[in-house]
């Protein structure tokens, strides 16, 4: 049974004032089959009224075959940004294991695709159809609340009605290149990310003081210091005195800096208001496959491969599938932390099942291994050759302002100590990415892969035209 209660929907792809309203655009994605197009058109043609759009898929409480209920089963978990790449996989993972899940999302990521002329390589169904299909496949209940976390009245109403015990916060503009397109996109990124997190902190303080906040940060907050990267805090001795302080941050884009601001705000709120918070500094995530997202074609996850939202692993894999040389930015010595999407959902469940203490803002470095860009390219070449692909790599000018050769040693023990069992890139690349790239390469637009944003060219003029497909 599908029940719909209409209240409001706000989608904010461009900068707006704190109280400003924006036009809601169709939250659809370009799909290939007539059936997919028909479903998407049906959703887009609905005419909501009131203050939020909520879709509840209700079915018998039965588990998916082969899934285990955790000790956290039954806990009420609100996933902000649950229609996105990490959020969708996490929502299904938790729902399958007995958590009561609500997704909150303004669907702006889909709108940005329309603005940029881009799309997921994998055809993704509408958020409404996804939730309905999950109920049919799993017999599980997921609640979908469409609205903006920056809209306080919507957030307050959602907290009051759902009464979350844990809030998982993915609901942010997550692309460094997008934040560097121009002034407007930089301001939108910082406003959306920082104000959204502030609203969540106030909602927990006033409406759900015992709620545990699990916030997705990024390893990019740290930059590439010439010392070991600790898990959030570092012991300092200076002029004969010692202290344990937040690790210094050197974000490499206005997106990364928005996450730095979030971390400071969360630390302050935890201490001032006795909030329990876990900040997950996540590395580059790769992969499409989780047990739940592969349960039905309509549940498949995003595969972003473009120069703005696509990660280097995704970009390399689609290039390999098409016989295009892998494009390495600069010298290729840039080293980053990585993890499989299956490990992301593991980490989120571990953080929920082992909550922070009241008044604590703890930090986990959420990675399983580190690789340089050149090393990742070499893995894709080797794995592609095993599949009979003719794969090579080339170096192209780096559009970013970053060190291309540097020291990088990350401490990432806490999640492993709590039970994380990693999937490693060299062992799982074919299963996680290459097969999907080969299966859906007919949907690829090669123009999307080119670097579309130059860090040094970000300015006050509207530069969106250069970032879109077919732009000058």
The residues that are catalytic are: 218, 255, 259
What secondary structure, in 3-state letters, does the chain show? CEEEEECECCCCCCCCCCCCCCCCCCCCCCCCCHHHHHHHHHHHCCCCCCCEEEEEECCCCCCCCCCCCCCCCCCEEEEECCCCHHHHHHHHHHHHCCCEEEEEECCHHHHHHHHHCCCCCCCCCCHHHHHHHHHHHHCCCEEEEECCCCCHHHHHHHHHHHCCCEEEECCCCCCHHHHCCCHHHHHHHHHHHHHHHHHHHHHHHHHCCCCEEEEEEEHHHCCCCCCCECCCEEEEEECCEEEEEECCCCCCCHHHHHHHHHHHHHHHHHHHHCCEEEEEEECEEECCCCCCCCCCHHHCCCCCCCCCCCCHHHHHHHHHHHCCCEEEECCCECEEEEEEHHHHHHHHHHHHHCCCCCCCEEEEEECCEEEEHHHHHHHHHHHHHHCCCCCCEEEECCCCCCCCECCCCECCCHHHHCCCCCCCHHHHHHHHHHHHHHHCHHHCCHHHCCCCCCHHHCCCCCCHHHHCCCCC
* Closest listed residue to residue 433, CA positions, set 325, 282, 314, 327: 314
CA 124 from centre of chain: 15
Question: Cα 43 to the chain's mean position, in Å?
Answer: 24
Query: By C-alpha distance, which of 214, 103, 81, 203 is closest to 153?
Result: 203
């Amino acid at each position: 049974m599908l029940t719909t209660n209409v209240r409001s929907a706000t989608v904010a792809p461009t900068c707006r004032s704190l109280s400003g309203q924006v036009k809601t655009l169709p939250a659809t994605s370009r799909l290939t089959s007539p059936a997919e197009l028909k479903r998407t058109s049906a959703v887009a043609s609905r005419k909501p009224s009131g203050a939020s759009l909520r879709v509840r898929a209700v079915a018998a409480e039965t588990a998916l075959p082969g899934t285990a209920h955790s000790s956290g089963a039954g806990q009420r978990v609100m996933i902000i940004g649950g229609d996105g790449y990490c959020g969708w996989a996490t929502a299904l993972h938790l729902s399958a294991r007995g958590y009561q899940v609500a997704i909150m999302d303004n669907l702006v990521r889909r709108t940005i695709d329309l603005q940029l002329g881009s799309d997921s390589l994998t055809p993704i169904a509408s958020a409404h159809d996804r939730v309905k299909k999950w109920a049919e496949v799993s017999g599980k209940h997921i609640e979908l609340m469409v609205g903006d976390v920056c809209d306080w009245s919507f957030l307050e109403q959602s907290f009051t009605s759902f009464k979350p015990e844990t809030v998982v916060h993915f609901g942010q503009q997550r692309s460094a290149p997008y934040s560097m397109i121009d002034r407007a996109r930089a301001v939108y990124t910082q406003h959306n990310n920082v104000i959204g997190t502030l609203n969540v902190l106030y909602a927990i303080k006033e409406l759900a003081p015992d709620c545990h906040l699990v916030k997705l940060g990024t390893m990019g907050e740290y930059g590439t210091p010439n010392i070991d990267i600790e898990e959030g805090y570092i012991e300092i001795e200076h002029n004969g005195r010692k202290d344990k302080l937040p690790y210094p941050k050197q974000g490499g884009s206005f997106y990364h800096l928005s996450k730095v601001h979030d971390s400071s705000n969360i630390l302050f709120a935890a201490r001032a208001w006795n909030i329990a918070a876990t900040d997950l500094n996540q590395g580059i995530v790769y992969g499409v496959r989780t047990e739940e997202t592969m349960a039905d074609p309509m549940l498949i996850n995003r595969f972003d491969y473009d120069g703005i939202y696509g990660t280097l692993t995704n970009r390399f894999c689609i290039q390999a599938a098409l016989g295009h040389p892998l494009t390495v930015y600069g010298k290729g010595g840039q080293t980053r932390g990585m993890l499989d999407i299956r490990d992301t959902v593991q980490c989120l469940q571990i953080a929920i099942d082992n909550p922070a203490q009241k008044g604590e803002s703890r930090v986990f470095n959420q990675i399983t291994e580190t690789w340089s860009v050149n090393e990742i390219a070499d893995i894709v070449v080797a794995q592609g050759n095993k599949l009979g692909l003719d794969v090579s790599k080339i170096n192209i000018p780096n559009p970013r302002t970053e060190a291309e050769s540097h020291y990088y040693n990350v401490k990432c023990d806490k999640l492993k100590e709590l039970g994380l069992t990693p999937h490693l890139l060299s062992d799982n690349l074919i299963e996680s990415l290459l097969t999907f790239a080969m299966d859906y390469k007919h949907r690829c637009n090669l123009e999307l892969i080119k670097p579309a944003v130059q860090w040094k060219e970000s300015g006050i003029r509207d530069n969106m035209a250069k970032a879109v497909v077919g732009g000058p």
